[in-house]
Copies of this chain bind each other. A is one copy, B any other.
Amino acid sequence: MVPNSGINLDVPAPRHRPGEAPEFDNLDIPNAGTVPKPDIMADPREMFGYANTLIRVLNMKHQAVGEWDPQLSADDLRTGLRDMLTTRLYDDRMQTMQRVGKMSFYMKSRGEEAVAVAQAMALDKKDMLFPSYRQQGLLISRGRDLLDMMNHCLSNSRDNCKGRQLPIMYTWRQGNFFSISGNLGTQFCQAVGWALASAYKGEDAIAATWIGEGTTAESDFHHGMTFAAVYNAPVLLNVVNNQWAISSFQGIAGGEKATFAARGFGYGMPGLRVDGNDFLAVYAVTKWAADRARAGGGPTLIEHFTYRADAHSTSDDPSKYRPEHEPEAWPLGDPVDRLKNHLIDLGEWSDERHDQAIAEITAMVTAKYKEAESYGTLNSGARPEVSSMFEDVFATQPDNLRRQRQQLGV
């Protein structure tokens, strides 16, 4: 029996809990354009400062400023905006459909669309993606048909995962998009292996992987960092710091002691911290890291400083653990609004075009969803063949599975 003092046990807590007024006054946010851009082959030991600042391109007047401005064409910017919008509207639709019982589960990426979309644009199509479950924008930017994504989420007869995976755990081989695991973090060091195989073969393709800030505590993060550093793997290691991991804030993952980008330093790789809601900054940082990797400069750790603007998933209610209006208090704004305003500022977009785009995409999503439902939902309509559940456990079905299939009578 021990005395119950608990006195020196230091358990971090977020600044505000439900019922309190949210604010982020503690954040030290440098102005856009103030962080210099290093040479792609810069020595990581000299790059220490990049982990403790925030690379930003879009300023408060919606202008692109500073060395990191990637100078994208207006067309590219509009593509990025459209893909982010599509991601968001797709998410909204799917979440609604989950609410009415068409799917078992759903996870939105609201507020984080720039991370996935800008990164997909900055990478080559041949580059291999090892995402977590909150980068659906990668698929959308790479042109996956929403219909296929929906078919998967509905576990219907056209689901390429054959009804075996939860919604949002996509797989898309053709698009060089790896199978998402339900187990957090496991893809992080796998991406390093893929990248090394590419280097081994003398190919030019690199790998990119994503992990939530909460998940950095898993061993996979450490293994990915270690193996990437040791073998100088051509890989982008992305930490999406969206401030929350289900109900626990980033301090429970160590975020109050150091930035996640700072981890890079101890492994001898650059750690870049970027405003994850700034499409241009995310693009530029990704391009820098990809160029570096392709040039033989090895891995880069990128911390995307962003905010999870909605619930963790359809299974939780964030008002139970954070102030109701915390999302609106996020000082770095919304990635869609910021890119939209930038385009408007450039004279390349307008509120009318924006509304029209929303209307078009919404109609497209609706039509796709309608079609997807015609191939079945989890609860009704067509499903994959039941007998298929005994396939793909092994490359060829062993006897015991054949017998079990027969026992089930399928």
| A229 at interface, CB cutoff 8 A | yes
A-B contacts, 15 listed (Cβ < 8 Å): A2-B200, A5-B200, A5-B202, A8-B199, A9-B199, A11-B231, A45-B258, A219-B222, A229-B257, A230-B257, A257-B267, A257-B268, A258-B267, A258-B268, A263-B267
| A252 at interface, CB cutoff 8 A | yes
CB-based contact B8/A296 at 8 Å: yes
Return A263 CB to nearest CB of chain B, in Å: 3
| A408 at interface, CB cutoff 8 A | no
* Docked complex Cα distance between A52 and B48 (Å): 12
CB-based contact B200/A6 at 8 Å: yes
Total residues of chain A contacting the partner, CB 8 A: 51
Find the B residue at minimum CB distance from A231: B10
CB-based contact B257/A44 at 8 Å: yes
| A266 at interface, CB cutoff 8 A | yes
| A17 at interface, CB cutoff 8 A | no
* Docked complex Cα distance between A231 and B64 (Å): 40
| A58 at interface, CB cutoff 8 A | no
Interface flags for A241-274 (1: CB within 8 Å of B; 0: not) read: 0000000000111101110001111111101000
CB-based contact B201/A2 at 8 Å: yes
| A194 at interface, CB cutoff 8 A | no
Interface residues of A in 56-92 (CB under 8 A from B): none
A residues with a Cβ closer than 8 A to B are 2-3, 5-12, 44-45, 48, 52, 196-197, 199-202, 216-219, 221-223, 226, 229-232, 234, 251-254, 256-258, 262-269, 271, 296, 298
The 8 A-B pairs with the shortest beta carbon distances in the complex, nearest first, are: A257-B268, A219-B219, A263-B266, A222-B222, A258-B268, A8-B199, A5-B202, A10-B232
Please name all residues of chain B whose beta carbon is closer than 8 Å to the beta carbon of A218 when the two chains form the complex: 219
Known: A8-B296, A199-B9, A201-B3. A254 touches B267 (CB 8 A): yes
* Docked complex Cα distance between A229 and B257 (Å): 7
Known: A223-B217, A266-B264, A266-B265. A229 touches B200 (CB 8 A): no
Please name all residues of chain B whose beta carbon is closer than 8 Å to the beta carbon of A52 when the two chains form the complex: 45
CB-based contact A199/B265 at 8 Å: no
* Docked complex Cα distance between A257 and B227 (Å): 12
Please name all residues of chain B whose beta carbon is closer than 8 Å to the beta carbon of A234 when the two chains form the complex: 8
CB-based contact B12/A230 at 8 Å: yes
Return A355 CB to nearest CB of chain B, in Å: 45
Find the B residue at minimum CB distance from A269: B257
Please name all residues of chain B whose beta carbon is closer than 8 Å to the beta carbon of A232 when the two chains form the complex: 10
CB-based contact A219/B223 at 8 Å: yes
